């Protein structure tokens, strides 16, 4: 007997495939899979709802997710993830701005961003370096940064990599 697939769904997106992890009626993870990964239809009603909301976001960047999430991480990571959720669509903050807000360090904020278990829904792509894009998914290679650029572009950011962001500590509207 074959074990069940590790994802409740594998959703094809404009930049690749997302693996959707659910436990009961709670979203616990989204994983960026290889672009050539096969799509896998949702296995249950909740994963179908997650895919419907992700699809709605890809059609309209202003779509507001309304999903129960289970976030496992350190207290610091959860604070960073909550701060990220408060950054509106079309706006960015730097790692340093979030660090100042949370009384942390930019590196610690970057590590928490890279450890985000539910990217896209918790929009860690909206956190950038003061000198450019920064990293994405604990990576700085073209594949990861291409996804970050796509997400920022989808939300109205057209100048990626973002430069001269300043350090006001407040979200900035990005060319929408």
Active site residues: 124
Given a contact cutoff of 8 angstroms between Cβ atoms, the answer to whether 58 and 13 are in contact is: yes
Q: Tell the residue number behind the tokens 């959860």, with chain if given.
A: 78
Q: Of 31, 28, 6, give the one whose Cα is nearest residue 17.
A: 31
CB-neighbour burial class of residue 70 (10 A; exposed 0-12, middle 13-18, buried 19+): middle
CB under 8 Å to 149, separation ≥6 — which residues?
133, 160, 161
Q: Show Cβ contacts of residue 52 under 8 Å, excluding neighbours closer than 6 positions.
A: none
């Amino acid at each position: 007997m074959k074990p069940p697939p590790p994802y409740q769904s594998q959703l094809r997106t404009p930049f690749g495939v997302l693996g959707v992890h659910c436990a009961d009626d709670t979203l616990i993870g989204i994983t960026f899979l290889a672009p050539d990964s096969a799509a896998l239809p949702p296995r249950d009603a909740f994963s179908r709802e997650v895919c419907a909301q992700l699809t709605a976001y890809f059609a309209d960047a202003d779509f507001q997710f309304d999903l129960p999430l289970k976030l496992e991480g350190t207290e610091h990571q959860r604070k960073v993830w909550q701060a990220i959720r408060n950054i509106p669509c079309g706006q960015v903050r730097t790692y340093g701005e979030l660090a100042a807000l949370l009384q942390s360090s930019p590196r610690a904020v970057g590590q928490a961003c890279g450890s985000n278990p539910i990217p896209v829904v918790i929009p860690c792509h909206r956190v950038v370096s003061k000198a450019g894009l920064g990293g994405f998914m604990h990576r700085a290679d073209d594949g990861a940064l291409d996804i970050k650029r796509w997400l920022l572009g989808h939300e109205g950011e057209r100048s990626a990599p973002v430069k001269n962001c300043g350090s006001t500590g407040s979200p900035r509207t990005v060319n929408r």
